[in-house]
Amino acid sequence: MTLLFLVLISRIYYVQVVNGAFWYEKAKSRWSANEVLVGKRGTITDRDGNVFAMDTMAYNVAVNPQAIHDADLVEEVVDGLHELLGKSKEELRKLVTAKKESDGKFYLVREIRPEGLKIDKSLADKLKQFRDELSKEKEVYDVGIILTEDLKRYYPRNALASQLVGYLDREGVAMTGVEAFFDEQLKGENGFVNYEKDGKRVQLSEGDFEYKPAQDGQNIKLTIDSDIQHYVEEALNEIVKKYAPKSATAIAADPQTMEILAMANTPTYNPNTYWQNNLNSYNHAIKSLYEPGSTFKIVTLAAAVEEGVFDPNEMYKSGQITLKGVPKPIRDIKREGWGTISFLDGLKHSSNVAFVKLGYERLGADKLREYITNFGFGQKTNIQLSNELTGSIRFQYPSEVANATFGQGVTVTPIQQVAAVAAVANGGRLLQPQIVKSITDPTTKTTTEIEPKVVRQVISKETSKLVGEYLEQVVSDQVNGSGKNAYIEGYRVAGKTGTAQKVIGKDYSSTKFVVSFIGYAPVDDPKIVVYVVVDEPNDPLVGGGKVAAPAFKQIVLKSLRKMGVAPNYKTDSNTEKKEVSVVIPDLSELKVAQAKAELAAKAINYELIGNGATVLQQIPAGGSIVHPTQRVYLITEQRDKLAVPDMTGVSLRDALEITSLLGVRVITEGQGYVVSQKVEEQNGKRIVRIVLQPPAGGPGGAAAGTGSEGDAIDTEDAEQSGAEQGQGTEDTEKEGNTPE
């Protein structure tokens, strides 16, 4: 017995003391439990908080070859996973029968990639159902199909702004767009919790405990406006249907800040299923180079005006010009020209000869190159997107200098064009394009606002104003203006068309063109600049004025309406150009969300009156034909519960109808449209005093409101008049077939 105890004590000593550290670590690993705390990737939203990208629940699929072998379910599992995941049976069979090379034993876990990586809940539910049915049918507890929870990137807007937002691949790697450029800010950091447990997996109160919280990624709010993005993509889709181009790109921006309001390309793709057509994730707006053609003449014009060498009334001989050192004469798009015309008419006709005289003869190569560089060409704009190209300017020979004056031999990106024309519009300031409005850290609850960044002053405010007025006539002149198809009734629009031959090999093609239009509105206080460029439309005889200008018009008109920008002037009904108008849809009895969606789709401003869920009444009524900037009032509660809405900008007729509906007495001062209002209470009844003024530039445009106060109008007895009817069609004189 003594000997036995000596042996036992010796063994205990060896285990506990000599080899104690080893067995302690073994035991500790059995006691220890650890969990990974996943940090979420930050969201990407538009300027109004509408989500473009977010993390959502997902599942990963794996198999347990050992369990499948033990249950003899190889073929059943292969057939089921093939049907649900779409992976080939041969590859699945290799996975479910996989063995280790070291000992020949079956693996315990083999992931199914990429088909089983980050699948959505609906597919995971089908897999769970298949697993449960197979388990019940074969009376086996473990059929060897493993589902683990995970997070995946989800893009609720699908293809909207997809090239700008970018995507993550199935491995979670940021590939393009904002996702890639701001990957460090967006991606979260995983945390963990480590603790010691007993045999029942209950945490030991005296055990070791280690905890690191997960950190979610930062949230990025873009400058993009989802509505304007929709208008842009809608316009591009119409171009695709009509002209089947190789690609089409459009950018809309605020020229005062260079915040990008929309950026779109066709063809497009869905980042949720990027593997189907991820080649379409290419963002032409920053990664493609084009010869701009005559849209580049804006740069030459601005330089000439700034240097005092442009006289709009000066005459010159159009048609062609011969220059010393240039082997061939430079011709206008109309070879015989338009005779002897003014330089302003040369701008309207987009005469190459006029701009050669201005840029080559008067400014000279050095000065012209200086302005081209100062406007940002041949260099990156530093927009917050990866792989932006710089473009090039050929200025070695006299012919290259002459050609550059009208946009030939120059390669630019669309974003460079927008930044340069925005500088012309905003008073001469070249600004860095911005696509991010703010970044919010969810951990510290701090938000960093991105401020506009001025690169340099390129031209003076006076020059900016003059150039805008000249470019306005390119659009407003419905006889000679090359940009007449971009005319928007009631608004002052400046713009320029462009049609450039594509270089095929070493020569310019006579059948393949890049056509474009760039402009801004309103001229006196620009709110939006839009560039539309179309690569190889299927008709070689159409130019930028035919293909791109109508799309520009559609985008700008809807955007101005969405922004609530009032027209510059009221048109004269006696002129041939008729007021642009829209038909108000009938929204009665619709749910508020549905009514709002219909109005947003038509870019019609609206205001909700009341907190109800259903539209009880609307003003103006459904079917009314009104100006695009007319606001629609949606009544959702009975009138005794309603507050008086903001009626600024509405006509007296509509103001009377609104106040009548509310049972409110109104006192008017002046005539025209409401410019201010004040709600008072007298003898227990509400009274609203409104001041009206005629629209600027309209009949009786002198300041109103100077007359005596009008008589009180009891709106309950006021006669209601219908909306004015009649919608003219725009004069759309056909454009010539000669490319610009």
Q: Which residue has the higher pLDDT, 727 or 360?
A: 360
CATH 3.40.710.10 occupies which residues in the chain? Answer: 226-271+283-563
Predicted confidence at residue 254, as pLDDT, reads 96
Instruction: For residue 225, give the amino acid letter.
Output: D
The model's confidence at residue 319, banded by pLDDT at 50, 70 and 90, is very high
Percentage of residues of the chain with pLDDT beyond 90: 46
pLDDT in the model for residue 368:
95
- In angstroms, how far is CA 71 from the centroid of its own chain? 54
Of 625, 658, 665, 666, residue with least CA distance to 639? 658
pLDDT at 736 over 50: no
As annotated, the residues of the chain forming the CATH 3.30.70.2110 domain(s) are 55-152
* pLDDT, position 219: 95
55-152 under CATH 3.30.70.2110, yes or no: yes
Q: Report the pLDDT value the prediction gives residue 32, as an integer from 0 to 100.
A: 67
Phi, psi of 125 (to 5 degrees): -65, -40
Return the CATH architecture of domain 226-271+283-563: 3-Layer(aba) Sandwich (3.40)
Greater confidence (702 vs 4) lies with 4
User: What confidence category does residue 727 fall into, taking pLDDT thresholds of 50, 70 and 90?
Assistant: very low
DSSP 100-138: -TTT-PBPS-EE-TTTTSSB-HHHHHHHHHHHHHHHHHH
- Tell me the average pLDDT of the chain: 84
At 513, is the secondary structure helix, strand, or coil? Answer: strand
**410-427 tens-digit pLDDT:** 999 999 999 999 999 999
The mean per-residue pLDDT over the stretch 162-172 comes to 91
Highest mean pLDDT among 62-76, 201-215, 375-389, 577-591: 375-389
Q: State percent of the chain over pLDDT 70.
A: 87
Q: pLDDT of 614-630, one tens digit each?
A: 888 887 788 877 766 66
> What pLDDT is recorded for position 202?
67
Count Cβ atoms within 10 A of the Cβ of residue 578 and give its class: 0-12 exposed, 13-18 middle, 19 or more buried.
Answer: middle
CB atoms within 10 A of CB 406: 31
Orientation of helix 414-425 relative to helix 297-306, angle to 10° = 30
Average pLDDT over residues 297-314: 95
**Cα 266 from Cα 233, distance rounded (Å):** 8
Distance from C-alpha of 412 to C-alpha of 376, rounded to nearest angstrom = 10
How do residues 3-29 score in pLDDT, each as one tens digit?
Answer: 998 999 888 888 888 887 777 776 666
Distance CA(505)–CA(208), nearest Å, equals: 72
Confidence band, pLDDT 50/70/90 cuts, at residue 721: very low
Is 587:615 a contact under the CB 8 Å cutoff? yes
pLDDT in tens, 469-493: 999 999 988 888 888 999 988 889 9
Cα 495 to its chain centre, rounded Å, is 22
Average pLDDT over residues 384-399: 91
Other Cβ atoms within 10 Å of 325 Cβ, number: 9
> What is the per-residue pLDDT for 646?
80
Q: What is the pLDDT of residue 297?
A: 94
Q: How far apart are CA 399 and CA 99, in angstroms?
A: 72
Q: How far apart are CA 168 and CA 41, in angstroms?
A: 11
Greater confidence, 175 or 654?
A: 175
pLDDT-derived band of residue 672, with 50, 70 and 90 as boundaries?
confident
581 has pLDDT over 80: no
Dihedral angle computed from the Cα positions of residues 88, 93, 95 and 97, in that order, rounded to the nearest 10 degrees: 180
CA–CA separation, 505 and 655 (whole Å) = 65
List all residues 6 or more positions away from 318 whose beta carbon is below 8 Å from its beta carbon. 332, 334, 337, 338, 339, 340, 341, 346, 349, 351, 353, 354
Q: Which amino acid is at 696?
A: A
Quick one: average pLDDT of 340-355? 93
Q: 74-78, 234-238, 634-638: which range is least confident on average?
A: 634-638
At 565, give phi and psi (nearest 5°). -80, 120
Predicted pLDDT at 260: 97
More confident residue, 602 or 115: 115
CB 363 within 8 A of CB 354: no
User: Token pair of 705, please?
Assistant: 């409101």
Q: With cut-offs at 50, 70 and 90, classify the pLDDT of residue 684.
A: confident
**Contact 518/498 with Cβ under 8 angstroms?**
yes
Q: How far apart are CA 368 and CA 377, in angstroms?
A: 12
Enter the DSSP assignment of 310. -
**What Å distances lie between residue 111 and 65, 96, 107, 148, 276, CA to CA?**
11, 10, 11, 11, 22
Which pLDDT score, from 0 to 100, does residue 706 have? 34
| Cα–Cα distance measured from residue 423 to residue 445, given in angstroms and rounded to the nearest whole number | 35
Amino acid code (one letter) for 560: L
Give the three-state DSSP class for 189.
strand
Give 274's DSSP letter: G
Q: Which pLDDT band, with edges at 50, 70 and 90, does 209 fall under?
A: low
pLDDT at 233: 94
> What element of type H or E holds 4?
helix 2-13
Which of 310, 350, 306, 313 lies closest to 332, judged by CA? 350
pTM over 0.85: no
Give the pLDDT mean for 516-528: 94
Q: Best-predicted range by mean pLDDT among 59-73, 301-315, 540-554, 677-691?
A: 301-315
Using CA atoms, how far apart are residues 181 and 174, in angstroms rounded to an integer? 8
Highest mean pLDDT among 137-151, 381-395, 669-683 belongs to 381-395
Active-site residue numbers? 294
Residue 435's pLDDT is what?
A: 96
Length of the chain: 740
* 273 close to 568: Cβ distance less than 8 angstroms: no
Range picked from 21-30, 103-112, 195-204, 530-539 for highest mean pLDDT: 530-539
pLDDT, greater one: 24 or 39: 39
